[in-house]
Amino acid sequence: MKLSSLLVWCVLIFSGAAMAKEAAPMAADLEVEKRMVAISEELRCLVCQNESLSGSHAELAQDLRREIRKMIAEGKTDKEILDFMVDRYGDFVRYRPPMKPTTWLLWGGPFLFLAGGLAALIAFLRRRAKDNAAPLLSDEERRRAATLLDQTKP
Amino acid sequence: MKRFLIPLGVFVVLVAFLAVGLTLNPRDVPSPLKDKPAPAFTLPQLAAAGTSFSPADMKGRVWLLNVWASWCVSCRQEHPLLVAFAKEGKLPVVGLNYKDQEADAKGWLAQFGDPYVLSAVDADGRVGIDYGVYGVPETYVIDKAGMIRMKHTGPITPESLQKQILPLVAELSK
């Protein structure tokens, strides 16, 4: 890429950032901001599902961050704020969904796989140990081999 | 022969999981509001300045709440269906004009037709948050007692209307 076009890109990108209006309330209260970020990091942005609420630029995410700030200002606890989100958007908004019958498989699934893998490994090792313990040739076979070898001697 | 059966079995299970997973719609998040009372609100109406609407006004009727906006592209997709449906007059469709500009919203209805008995104006999206709106258009079926019975995320299709919404409405209207 030519330097001039690179420059144009830089100007475009940074002017875009300068025009964005969401950064305005940042300096208002550092403590509130810190809590807001901590809470919103626990929450999924439903518009772009693989982003957290704290990192998302979606308009809904901005609105929800504004709601969280407001609730912090009202003196709500973190749990109350998380419940507010779950009541509206369901357990799916939480990156760490609660333990309940419908999520048992979700939480327990990895351990089931681990148990399955361990069982397969143990079965494999046992079988190999048994195979190794058995003599390569039975006494009968050994005798036959000896006779055959004797015969080939000059 | 037996030694190939296990990997084959694992492969078949994996394919089955992928086949199901890939046909599911990740946008379809089940709403926790199903079978809960529709959140109350009072909002100005789009067409008539000075008048307001709240869900309590619809008590005793089965109705649809359709969240729409002039900036929403998929709303355009479902709109002809809504207009045709509203003409049948089976049940009232209330619009929730979500985070829109008044002039844009009015122009949009003038251009594409107005299927709504009225549209409530949710300019800052606060009511949308109470309804768990995350992707316009969204449609809620609300029963006579004011309970949300179904939430449909995304544009309504003729299929979803015939197979999901209308049978439910018929049952609720009994």
Last residue of a domain, one of A98, A117, A135: A98
**Does residue A7 sit within a domain?**
no
**Does residue A46 sit within a domain?**
yes
**Does residue A3 sit within a domain?**
no
Residue A110 shares a structural domain with residue A85: no
**Does residue A35 sit within a domain?**
yes
DSSP state, residue B114: -
**Does residue A141 sit within a domain?**
yes
Instruction: Name which of B17, B74, B129, B138 to mutate to probe chain A: the one with the most chain A Cβ atoms within 10 A of its Cβ.
Output: B129
Q: Which range marks the domain in which residue A43 is found?
A: 26-98
Note whether A89 contacts B29, CB cutoff 8 Å: yes
Q: How far is B133 from B151, CA to CA, in rounded Å?
A: 10
The count of structural domains within chain A is 2
**H or E segment and range at residue B127:** helix B126-130
Digitized pLDDT (tens) for each residue of chain A, 154 residues in all? 455 665 555 455 555 444 444 555 555 678 888 889 999 899 988 888 888 888 888 888 999 999 999 999 898 899 999 999 999 998 888 988 888 888 888 899 999 999 999 999 999 999 988 888 777 778 888 888 888 888 876 6
Nearest CA in chain B to A68: B129
Structure ipTM: 0.80
Closest by Cα among B137, B142, B144, B147 to B115:
B137
Q: Is A37 on the interface with B (CB under 8 A)?
A: no
Nearest CA in chain A to B39: A88
Chain A to chain B, count of Cβ pairs less than 8 Å apart?
Answer: 38
Residue A85 shares a structural domain with residue A32: yes
Note whether A46 contacts B135, CB cutoff 8 Å: yes
Q: What is the pLDDT of residues B24-43, one digit of tens each?
A: 877 777 888 889 999 999 99
Q: How far is B109 from B96, CA to CA, in rounded Å?
A: 13
